[in-house]
Amino acid sequence: MIRICFVCLGNICRSPMAEFIMKDLVNKKSLQDKFYIVSKATSDEELGNNIYPPVQAKLREKGIPFDEQKRVCCLVEDDRDKFDYIIGMEEYNVQRIERIIGKSSNVYRLLDFTNHPRDVADPWYTRNFEKAYEDILEGCEAFLNYLMAKEKISN
Ligand code: 4NP
């Protein structure tokens, strides 16, 4: 079982988008039994809230199933050993993750798995949910390819 935690600041936009895009990619390869995938926040500002409505709308538009009851959950120090991969959306998330769990070799930035390493554009500020979706899809596809090779997964 490969245990993955996607992380952003609020856990209402980017990391839940990554969680459900990744689950969809994994389901389409019939690999769901090999993965445990969640998402969490580095801030408690949105604690208990649902996925931000424009993100829900984007996931519906793209035909990606998601949990309408998903609530914001905060990353805690113990998570360091509960996940094989802790994936931040941007460099700032990675710094905040390391402040919570300490420096750890299982922490990555999502788009570092692509050929164009960069931060995921933050739709909270850009209001561009399509761009965030495209960035995250590119990152999740590259991350899954990396995992399939590294963890020797076949389908
Ligand atoms: P997320 O987006 O980190 O992708 O969930 C944000 C959500 C809330 C805020 C910023 C980003 N905020 O400042 O409240």
* pLDDT tens string 28-59: 999 999 999 999 999 999 999 999 999 999 99
| Gyration radius of the chain's alpha carbons | 14
How close is the Cα of 124 to the center of ligand 1, in Å?
Answer: 6
- Residue 60 domain-assigned (yes or no): yes
Residue type at 111 in one-letter notation? L
Domain total for the chain? 1
- What is the C-alpha separation between 66 and 23, in angstroms, rounded? 9
- Residue 127 domain-assigned (yes or no): yes
What is this structure's pTM?
A: 0.97
109 belongs to the catalytic site: no
pLDDT tens for residues 93-137? 999 999 999 999 999 999 999 999 999 999 999 999 999 999 999
- What is the C-alpha separation between 23 and 26, in angstroms, rounded? 5
Q: Which domain holds residue 125?
A: 2-150
Is the CB of residue 1 less than 8 Å from the CB of residue 36? yes
Residue in 124, 131, 136 to alter for ligand 1 test, most ligand atoms within 8 A of Cβ: 124
What is the bridge-based pairing of β-strands 85-88 and 2-8? parallel
108 in contact with ligand 1, CB cutoff 6 A: no
For position 97, which CATH number holds?
3.40.50.2300
The two tokens of residue 14 are 């980017």
Dihedral angle computed from the Cα positions of residues 35, 130, 124 and 12, in that order, rounded to the nearest 10 degrees: -30
Q: Which helix (H) or strand (E) holds 63?
A: none
Residue type at 84 in one-letter notation? D
Residue type at 122 in one-letter notation? D
- Residue 141 domain-assigned (yes or no): yes
Alpha helices in the chain (DSSP H): 14-28, 53-61, 91-101, 123-126, 129-150
Q: Could you list the beta-strand ranges (E) of 24-154.
A: 35-41, 85-88, 107-109
Q: What is the pLDDT of residue 152?
A: 80
122 belongs to the catalytic site: yes
- Residue 116 domain-assigned (yes or no): yes
- Residue 155 domain-assigned (yes or no): no
- Residue 132 domain-assigned (yes or no): yes
pLDDT tens for residues 52-89? 999 999 999 999 999 999 999 999 999 999 999 999 99
